[in-house]
Structure 1
Amino acid sequence: MPTTIRFSVLGAPQLTVDGVPHPPRGPKLSRVLALLLFRRDQLVEVEALVDELWGDRPPRRAVSTVRTHIYHLRKFLEHSAGRDAGDLLATRPQGYLLRLGPDRLDADVFARLVESGRTLLAHGRPAEAARAGRVALDMWRGRPLGNTAVGTLLRGHVHRLEELRIQALEQRVEADMRLGRHRELVPELRGLVAAYPLNEWFHARLIEALQRSGRRADALRAFGELSTVLSTELGLRPSGEVRELYRSIREGEPVRALDAV
């Protein structure tokens, strides 16, 4: 029976072999593995690894140290997977290449599920979009790369994944709203506005969900809380779309659903 190998960056970086997790030992080894994973199936030059590990202050023997880290990474892969790592980690004159192929990195699967959810939502299939969103979000074990210190190159990848997670949350909330799950969404949306206090979209959806749950006074209070946050933090007012939502609720008019994500 062939060995099933997966890699994860949606949380602390790790290799999973037949369902058993194997975290790399040491922060430098984790960063080297992470950069190779984010650039899977592409050549990662030695200079890029030096830049990620030490920035503009590399040690005198930086290139030799990178080679040492690659040696330990190769041994880690061989020990964890119980096989020769040559088919995974290839050495080239300018650098190194981690050959993964499809579906071996959780971030790739996650991104594909988010895109699938977006397409399903656009085609009027909210129930399927909500399921795709839940599967995608359940893949997260924590912040990308966990507590691993990151340099300039990895920081960009981490930020991209965090933004993609917000998109996944917005799409899944939008799908549930279309399915009429307003009451069930209120506690989650309160948590989201606490976690992302400057995300006006989450605030607006909380206001709408409260109103559609028959909680008009709470919806108006939620608008006031948004106004206070934006004014205090950014010196801004809520967008015209959200102000129109507030006006409709205050005057007892039918509330039009806000534009989808």
Structure 2
Amino acid sequence: MRYSVLGVAQVWDGGGAPVPLAGGRLRSLVTVLALHAGRAVPQDTLIAEVWADAPPADAAGALQALVARLRKAVGRDAVASEPGGGYRLVAERDAVDLHLFETLLHDGEAALDRGDPAAARTTLSRALALWRGPALADLPDRAAAAARPEALRLAAMRARAEADLALGRAADALPLLREAVADHPLDEAFRAQLIRALRAAGRTADALMAYEDARTVLAETLGADPGPELRALHAALLRQDPRPDPDPDMASPGVPAPAPGGGAGARAGAGRGVDADRGPYQGTADPQAAAPVRGTSGRG
């Protein structure tokens, strides 16, 4: 059995056929159990996650009935009973798309770190293809639980774009980066990657327009100027610099140089990411773009 929670919850049987899951509560139960695949989930936790602030009068009985429906759909042996009324999804972690995604993200970042952008691109493309919609879409109160998966998706997008740039495939990176900038207009790291990709594709005029758009959005939304990396890229564009990245030693007077490591380090933005529960992504003005980048994909 395979379980998907990166979008509306779905289950596939051993032959790859979808298993019907009738009703939002049933999909919510699948989502919570899949998040903890292989581990016991206490009854109180299941009730709180499946019904949020509106549990039924007999919540324990309703949960038991919901588990019975799930067992009928996926097989009795797929959901084990635990002492105290809890339940456990009998599945390997990588049988759940979210956990597989985290594994692939970790492996893709590791490939970039060891200087193998081709392997990184293949692995990260596979990771991003697992997403079918918003993470944990069936949870009635998904915002907090989905923050970390959504942040990891941004990390995978940054790393995939960086792999494309390292491979000289700037044109392949442009659709992903345009989507990322549209969805996260205050994220300077994505904007910097978009400008780099346009410049590498020989589209200097478009790169200058992308910088001007970034400057305007930041000024109108935050009352702020672009950060050091964007300003250094702008200076390089004005010099018609043919190099793929601005040289810190050649920055214009008064223009702060970008952070060291404009190659692998730049794939994640101007700074390293942090775990989603420790604060916003460093080097971006978009609080929704919080994304751990290296060694934060949360395996295990």
Q: Which residue is 1:150 aligned to?
A: 140
- Per-residue deviation, 1:39: 1.2
- Give 5+ residue unaligned stretches, structure 1: 79-84
Task: Indicate the residue corresponding to 2:163 in structure 1.
Answer: 175
Aligned equivalent of 2:29, options 29, 32, 47: 32
Give the superposition deviation at 1:66: 1.4
Alignment of 1:153-232 (within 5 A): 154-232=142-220
Task: Tell me, yes or no, if the aligned pair for 2:19 and 2:74 is still in contact at 8 Å.
Answer: no
Contact 1:38 1:157 in 2 (8 A): no
5 Å-filtered alignment, 1:126-145, equals 126-145=117-136
Partner deviation per Cα, 1:82-125 (whole Å, 9 max, x = no partner): xxx23543342241111212431111111111100000000000
RMSD: 1.9
1:64 aligns with 2:61: yes
Question: Scaled by the length of structure 1, what TM-score is found?
Answer: 0.87
Higher alpha-carbon deviation: 248-257 or 197-206: 248-257
**Partners of 1:28 and 1:53 within 8 A in 2:** yes
Selected match of 1:50 from 26, 44, 47: 47
Are residues 1:16 and 2:7 paired? no
Give the drift of 1:8: 1.1
> Separation in 1 of the partners of 2:158 and 2:149?
14
Contact 1:90-1:98 within 8 A present in 2 as well: no
Runs (4 or more) in structure 1 with deviation over 4 Å come to none
Given that residues 7 and 15 in structure 1 are in contact (C-alpha distance below 8 angstroms), is that contact kept between their aligned partners in structure 2?
yes
Paired position in structure 2 for 1:260: 267
1:150 CA drift (Å): 2.4
> Please, what TM-score do these two structures have when normalized by structure 2?
0.77
Q: 1: CA distance between counterparts of 2:80 and 2:73?
A: 11
1:7 alignment partner, one of 3, 6, 9: 3
Report how far residue 149 of structure 1 moved: 4.5
Partner SS, residue 15 of structure 1: strand
Q: Number of matched residues? A: 248
**TM-aligned CA distance change 1:52 to 1:231, over 3 Å:** same
Amino acid at match of 2:36: R
Contact 1:88 1:98 in 2 (8 A): yes
Identity of aligned residues (%): 34
Q: Partners in 2 of 1:211 and 1:227 — Cα distance?
A: 17
Within the candidate set 94, 100, 110, 1:109 is matched to 100
Q: What is the CA–CA distance in structure 1 between the aligned matches of 2:54 and 2:145, rounded to whole Å?
A: 22
* Aligned equivalent of 1:81: none
Quick check: 1:31–1:53 contact (8 Å CA) kept in 2?
A: yes
* Superposed counterparts of 1:234-253, under 5 Å: 234-253=222-241
Structure 2 unaligned segments of length 5 or more: list them.
247-261, 269-300
Which whole-Å deviations, capped at 9, do the CAs of 1:99-158 have from their partners, x for residues lacking one?
A: 212431111111111100000000000011001111111122222244x2522xx44332
Counterparts in 2 of 1:174 and 1:216: CA distance versus 1, 3 Å: same
